[in-house]
A and B are shown apart, each in its own frame.
Chain A
Amino acid sequence: MALKDISLDFSENGIQGLFGANGAGKTTLMRIISTLLRPHSGTISVMGFDPQEEPEEVKKYLGLVGDKTLLYDELSGIENLRFYSKLYGLHRDFFETQVEELSQRFAIKTWLEEPVKNLSTGLKKRLDIVRSLIHNPMLLLLDEPFSGLDKDTTEDFWDYLNEHRNTRTTIVTTHNLALGANLCDEFVTLRKGVVINQGPISQFDQTL
């Protein structure tokens, strides 16, 4: 069992850090929040909805970035974004505004017509970040989002997260504790499936 007797309450808005070594249960918790895993026992509420009973309601508000991109190699960047916009039922005007804004923001506008398989790892990551934000999610789940990111993309993404700190709830897992400590407002430290520490980031002790 990856998580034991967890009781957590993530604040609305702000950036919450989920820290812990490999096998601590960070990804399992993220999967439960994102409706991908059903907990063996206990209850969970995301944006006021039960992910098991009303998964589609929860998913509307979710944006996901993981270590692997969710992009189709054979499609171009814009085709990927258009496909996901259809799954999220986005209005065409809203979609185009979002693409314009986010592609400029993450410097991929000139690469949107290119098949994803031709893009570098960094550009794929940028495109995947845009994909995760295309429906303007209220809850952003970032599972090791900075792994494999170049310095520029990390900084751009960091700035973006900072700007939206007060309007969006972001939960981020990272091995990079220094980075996490700088970025997050609050933190939770997990070890072997158990919460060993949590609170405002000012109380975060990297030695734990």
Chain B
Amino acid sequence: MTSGLGAALAIAKKDIIIQLRKKFEAFSMFLFALIAVLAYSFALVSQGSIPADVGSAMLWVIIFFMGMFGFAPIFLSESETGTLRGLATAPIPAWAVYVGKVIYGFVLMGIVEVFLVPIISILFGFSFLNDIPLTVAVLVVGTLDLSAVGSMASALVMPSEAKATVFPLVYFPTATSGLILLIEITKIIVLGPGVVPIMLLFEILLAHLIAMLTLSASVFHFALSP
């Protein structure tokens, strides 16, 4: 029997390969994000930049909505094609399926963010370079957090016939607390870091991620049951 983590990596790798072969889904996420950035920059940029607090919020709001594109179908296609039964009957712990999807969601969002963040930085006229390691850490933890919440929300709405309606209703409330923290931390980074308040907020964000991952993983077998 394979280890849970090995199975999770196999599931993530399989999903990434499928996504890269489909191409259009990742591209549509990027296109949505780019259009949103352009629209916000037309609407809000004055004298070459937008207020840092507004810009920080916009960054994470765009990533949040982009996540709705990416996470909503994470289990949908497996459920519709029947392949979810293959995962559910494989001798792997249920949490491995969940963690695999979280890793996949993280990679998918990460690929888009690699292009998106520099574009936002240029068009919104503010810099994340005040604290590069912290910026990277916040992007990694924040994206993982959204992926953890989004993957669970996607699994929970599987039995619903109105998935498209129910998904945001589950995703939004569970992601909001992490989203607020991400906006606050990014605002401080952009304005100029004050290490103490950032670290406190970052620790709370990290705790949120760990809580979401462990809670979701521990009850995920219920989501896999028909």
Contact indicator B2/A87 (Cβ below 8 Å): yes
Q: B84-132: which residues lie under 8 A (CB-CB) from chain A?
A: 85-93
Q: Report, as a range, how many residues of chain A touch the other chain.
A: 20 to 34
Contact of B225 with A36 in the complex, beta carbons under 8 Å: yes
Interface centre among A57, A60, A89 (most CB of B within 10 A): A89
CB distance from B191 to the nearest CB of A (A): 44
- Pairwise interchain contact B89-A75, C-beta atoms closer than 8 A: no
Q: How far is the CB of A93 from chain B (nearest CB, A)?
A: 16
Residues of B within 8 A of A (CB-CB), count: 26
Q: Give Cα A69 to B81, complex, Å.
A: 8
Whether A87 lies near B225 (C-beta < 8 A) is no
The answer to whether A66 touches B89 (Cβ under 8 A) is: no
Q: Which residues of A contact B17 (CB under 8 A)?
A: 74-75, 79
In the complex where A36-B226, A75-B17 touch, is A66 in contact with B91 (Cβ < 8 A)? Answer: no
Contact with A along B7-33 (1 / 0, CB 8 A): 100110010011001100000000000
Bound together, the chains give a CA A24 to CA B226 distance in angstroms of: 19
Chain A interface, >50% SS class:
loop
A37 to B225, CA, bound (A): 7
**Distance in Å from the Cβ of A76 to the closest Cβ of chain B?**
10
In the assembled complex, A59 has its CB within 8 A of some CB on chain B: yes
CA distance A72 to B89 in the complex (A): 16
B14–A72 CB distance below 8 A:
yes
In the assembled complex, which residues on chain B have CB atoms less than 8 Å from the CB atom of A71?
Answer: 83
User: Are B85 and A70 neighbours in the complex by a CB distance under 8 Å?
Assistant: yes
Complex Cα gap A91–B179 (Å): 43
**Which chain B residues in 1-59 approach chain A with CB under 8 Å?**
1-3, 6-7, 10-11, 14, 17-18, 21-22
Give the residue name and chain of the A residue nearest to B7 (CB).
A87
Residues in chain A near residue B194, CB distance under 8 A: none
* B22, A74: Cβ atoms closer than 8 Å: yes
User: Are B225 and A72 within 8 A (Cβ)?
Assistant: no
Contacting pair B86 A84 (CB below 8 A): yes
Q: Which residues of A contact B2 (CB under 8 A)?
A: 86-89
Q: In the complex the two chains form, is B18's CB within 8 Å of A64's CB?
A: no
Chain A's closest residue to B4 (CB) is A56
Contact check, A74 vs B21: say whether CB atoms are below 8 A apart: yes
CA distance A70 to B83 in the complex (A): 4
Question: Can you list 10 residue pairs at the A/B interface with Cβ under 8 Å?
Answer: A35-B89, A56-B93, A64-B89, A70-B86, A72-B14, A74-B17, A87-B92, A88-B2, A89-B2, A89-B6
Beyond A35-B89, A86-B6, list 14 extra A-B contacts (CB 8 Å). Answer: A31-B226, A36-B89, A60-B91, A68-B82, A69-B82, A70-B82, A70-B85, A70-B86, A72-B18, A84-B90, A86-B10, A87-B11, A87-B86, A88-B1
